[in-house]
Chains A and B, each alone.
Chain A
Amino acid sequence: MIDGFIALYIFMLAAFVGHEVIGRVPVILHTPLMSGSNFVHGIVLVGAMVALGRADSGLEMTIGFIGVFLAAGNAVGGYVVTERMLEMFKSSKEKR
């Protein structure tokens, strides 16, 4: 069970990690990084899958289906556009 202070500790430490990771990012990577973090919260897919998997009424199944659909779009779309953007970042020393 993740609850009480354990939950708070996880939340606090993860918040500091997020702050630190992005704190040193140069401006030129802001858009790809925003896109990359957008991809990372695509992890909502696993939650949506569990919610749909446990749904038993028609209403719950409909909402769960929409949730999985949206989450899959978030994860896949986030990956594709981030990868496309980062693929273009090359220094003048690299061959193109």
Chain B
Amino acid sequence: MNEASSVRWLIEASYFVAAILFIYGLKRMSSPVTARGGIVWAGAGMLVATLVTFLYPGMDNYILMMVAIALGGVLAWVSGKRVAMTDMPQMIALYNGMGGGAAAAIAAVELFGGEDHGLTFGILAVLGGLIGAVSFSGSMIAFAKLQGLMKSTVRFGGQQIFNLVLLAATLVLAAIIVVQQPGPELIAIFFVLALVLGVTMTLPIGGADMPVVISLYNALTGLAVAFEGFVLQNAAMIIAGTVVGAAGTLLTQLMAKAMNRSLGNVLFSGFGDTAAVASEVQGSMKAIEAADAGVMMAFANKVLIVPGYGMAVAQAQHKVWELAQILIERGVDVKFAIHPVAGRMPGHMNVLLAEAGVPYDVIYDEGEINAEFATADVALVIGANDVVNPVARTDPSSPIYGMPILNADKAKNVIVIKRGQGAGFSGIENALFFLDQTRMLYGDGQAMASELIQAVKSL
């Protein structure tokens, strides 16, 4: 074996090992007990693959390469270490968009390079570039929205037709590029159109749908990476990209299903636009003071806590866990009930509660806990709205009809911590707030949790 072919062998063997480590790492991440080790295994795979790539034959520009790696790596390291747990969704969107952008950049280099890759690889290069570019600009919009840098939804007349025409134009250009291999101008226009498409696709989508959208772009980036992997004949990219593409697609479907909506519905219709007139809710909202609510919980046998996005906004997770702990010390059976789409990402609430130190074995998801609401003395709803709205069970005319919800309305008493009297994100009145056994505790989540702690402690 001469030197060139043994280097080649080393590279391929390292990529093979990296692929195994990625899959093993993801596998370990699927259980809370082994999850912490999973990311380390996957990280080892990434390190091996990256280092060995420096040996790749026929390469140049090493200085530029190392500067780019150092720059991107340091910026991401610092931002990743600093970001607050509540801002995790937009950070993941940002890093994911960067991956999509990188896939598009690979496609651009290959296409501008003007080499004839043949029909199959030409199609894969162009498709990967298109998907990567859409994922890049779409994820950046998702980031900007969640970070509060822009108004949450932008809609204009004929938006969907505009998007369809844009998609069609991009695909026609893609076909021309594959078949005719035109000059750089057309290729540049193709990438600009793809980037604009990502922006206009994401603009009309509201904040509550962002979990589904970020997950979708995560899957798309995976697919784009796999396609560019075929073009570059890189097995590690093909396998890792495809695994992420498939896993991300499944995760996206699970999330859309939890919201009782199809993916097409999330992407192509503004929430609430179709059925704006929800039925009138009977009754009135009854307020309660923190002191009385504290007494109610302190003398309960079982308290179920239902957190939602409002808890994340108020950064109230530490106070909520403190409250739960003093209740547990008093002998109250306290459990957390989490809806799959509460927050801005699947499992968002779990991450926040974990940050506050809540052990994962007192946290239950909707399927595990729903039967227990009937035996609960108090359901404490903090910052959650649509996911506890009983009209999803009772009112076929409601846009959220059929969505699986947490049955907080079955509890003997319901305490809702809420900023004001307005309707939720979807604009639908929440029938739970008007029930006889429901009391509203108006105020900021963190401040109210502190007052509840004081109330319980003073008993």
A2-21, CB < 8 A from B:
2-3, 7, 10-11, 14-19, 21
A91 and B361 alpha carbons, distance in the complex (Å): 6
Name the CB-closest residue of A to B70.
A72
A50 and B11 alpha carbons, distance in the complex (Å): 12
Neighbouring B residues of A78 by C-beta, 8 Å: 92, 95-96, 99
Q: Least Cβ distance of B269 to chain A in Å?
A: 24
A45-79, CB < 8 A from B:
45-57, 59-61, 63-79
A48 and B340 alpha carbons, distance in the complex (Å): 36
A44 and B99 alpha carbons, distance in the complex (Å): 7
Among B30, B58, B214, B236, chain A packs the most CB atoms within 10 A around the CB of B30
The verdict on B434 contacting chain A, using a C-beta distance below 8 Å, is no
A→B interface (CB under 8 Å): 1-3, 7, 10-11, 14-19, 21-57, 59-61, 63-94, 96
Would you call B109 and A64 a contact (CB within 8 A)?
Answer: yes
The verdict on B106 contacting chain A, using a C-beta distance below 8 Å, is yes
Known: A34-B215, A67-B101. 20 other contacts (CB 8 A): A18-B247, A22-B26, A22-B30, A22-B247, A22-B250, A40-B46, A43-B236, A43-B237, A46-B237, A50-B232, A61-B64, A63-B112, A64-B105, A68-B65, A70-B102, A72-B70, A73-B76, A81-B91, A81-B95, A86-B36
Chain A's interface: helix, strand, loop or mixed, by majority?
Answer: helix
Select A76's contact among B27, B76, B112, B254, beta carbons within 8 Å.
B76
Neighbouring B residues of A85 by C-beta, 8 Å: 85, 88, 351, 354
A53 and B64 alpha carbons, distance in the complex (Å): 9
Name the CB-closest residue of A to B254.
A30
Neighbouring B residues of A48 by C-beta, 8 Å: 102, 105-106
| 21 A-B interface contacts by CB (under 8 A) | A21-B27, A28-B32, A30-B340, A31-B348, A33-B247, A40-B25, A40-B244, A47-B103, A49-B65, A49-B69, A50-B232, A51-B232, A60-B109, A67-B105, A76-B73, A80-B77, A83-B39, A83-B40, A84-B81, A89-B360, A96-B357
Would you call B251 and A30 a contact (CB within 8 A)?
Answer: yes
The verdict on B287 contacting chain A, using a C-beta distance below 8 Å, is no
A15 and B232 alpha carbons, distance in the complex (Å): 19
Would you call B58 and A54 a contact (CB within 8 A)?
Answer: yes
Would you call B345 and A79 a contact (CB within 8 A)?
Answer: no
Would you call A23 and B250 a contact (CB within 8 A)?
Answer: yes
Would you call A88 and B351 a contact (CB within 8 A)?
Answer: yes
Neighbouring B residues of A75 by C-beta, 8 Å: 46, 50, 73, 76
The verdict on B245 contacting chain A, using a C-beta distance below 8 Å, is yes
Would you call A41 and B244 a contact (CB within 8 A)?
Answer: yes
Would you call A17 and B106 a contact (CB within 8 A)?
Answer: no
The verdict on B299 contacting chain A, using a C-beta distance below 8 Å, is no
Select A47's contact among B106, B361, B362, beta carbons within 8 Å.
B106
Would you call A81 and B236 a contact (CB within 8 A)?
Answer: no
* Known A14-B238, A47-B237, A81-B95; contact A68-B102, beta-carbon cutoff 8 A: yes
Would you call B214 and A34 a contact (CB within 8 A)?
Answer: yes
Select B347's contact among A10, A28, A77, beta carbons within 8 Å.
A28
Select B226's contact among A11, A59, A69, beta carbons within 8 Å.
A11
Name the CB-closest residue of A to B67.
A65
Would you call A19 and B120 a contact (CB within 8 A)?
Answer: no
Name the CB-closest residue of B to A74.
B99
Select A18's contact among B102, B238, B246, B357, beta carbons within 8 Å.
B246
* Known A40-B42, A40-B243, A76-B73; contact A90-B106, beta-carbon cutoff 8 A: no
A56 and B362 alpha carbons, distance in the complex (Å): 58
The verdict on B22 contacting chain A, using a C-beta distance below 8 Å, is yes
Q: Least Cβ distance of B261 to chain A in Å?
A: 17
Q: Least Cβ distance of B95 to chain A in Å?
A: 4
Q: Least Cβ distance of A29 to chain B in Å?
A: 6
Would you call A74 and B95 a contact (CB within 8 A)?
Answer: yes
Select B354's contact among A11, A39, A83, A88, beta carbons within 8 Å.
A88
Would you call B234 and A41 a contact (CB within 8 A)?
Answer: no
Name the CB-closest residue of A to B366.
A27
* Known A3-B120, A44-B225, A72-B72; contact A61-B61, beta-carbon cutoff 8 A: yes
* Closest 3 pairs between A and B when the two form their complex, measured CB to CB: A53-B59, A67-B105, A18-B246
